[in-house]
Amino acid sequence: MTSATIKLFLPHGDAKRLRVGEVSNWTGKALAAPRTELDDLLLREEVENSGVYFLFGADPESGDPVAYIGEAEVIRDRLKQHKAKDFWNSVVVFVSKDENLTKAHIRYLENRLLHEAKIVARYHLENSNSSNPKLPESDREDMEVFLARIQQVLPVLGADLLAPVSGAAKSARPQKMLMCKNRGAEAQGRRTERGFVVFKGSTAVIAERPSAETQHPYVVALRRKLVQAGALVENAGFLAFTKDVEFDSPSAAAAVIHGGGANGLTAWKDNSGRTLKEVEEN
Share of the chain above pLDDT 70, in %: 96
Residue ranges, the chain, pLDDT below 50: none
pLDDT at res. 241: 97
The answer to whether 185 and 205 are in contact (CB under 8 A) is yes
Sign of the alpha-carbon torsion through 134, 139, 144, 148:
negative
- Category of 12 on φ-ψ map: left (φ > 0), alpha (ψ -120 to 50) or beta: alpha
The answer to whether 109 and 52 are in contact (CB under 8 A) is yes
pLDDT at res. 127: 86
Q: Which residues of 236-274 are buried (b: 16+ CB within 10 A; e: fewer)?
A: eebbbbeebbbbeebbbbbbbbbbbebebbebbbeeeeb
Q: Concatenated DSSP letters for 181-220?
A: EETTEEEEEEEETTEEEE-TT-EEESS--TTHHHH-HHHH
Partner residues linked to 234 by β-bridges = 239
Q: Measuring CA to CA, which residue among 78, 94, 82, 110 is closest to residue 31?
A: 94
Residues whose CB is less than 8 angstroms from the CB of residue 66 and which lie 6 or more positions away in sequence, other chains included: 56, 57, 58, 59, 87, 88, 123, 124, 125, 126
Residues whose CB is less than 8 angstroms from the CB of residue 99 and which lie 6 or more positions away in sequence, other chains included: 49, 50
pLDDT at res. 34: 96
pLDDT at res. 176: 85
End-to-end C-alpha distance for the chain, whole angstroms: 29
Q: pTM of the prediction?
A: 0.80
pLDDT at res. 167: 66
pLDDT at res. 62: 78
CA dihedral 128, 130, 136, 137 (to 10 degrees): 10
Residue 14 to residue 2: CA distance in whole angstroms:
29
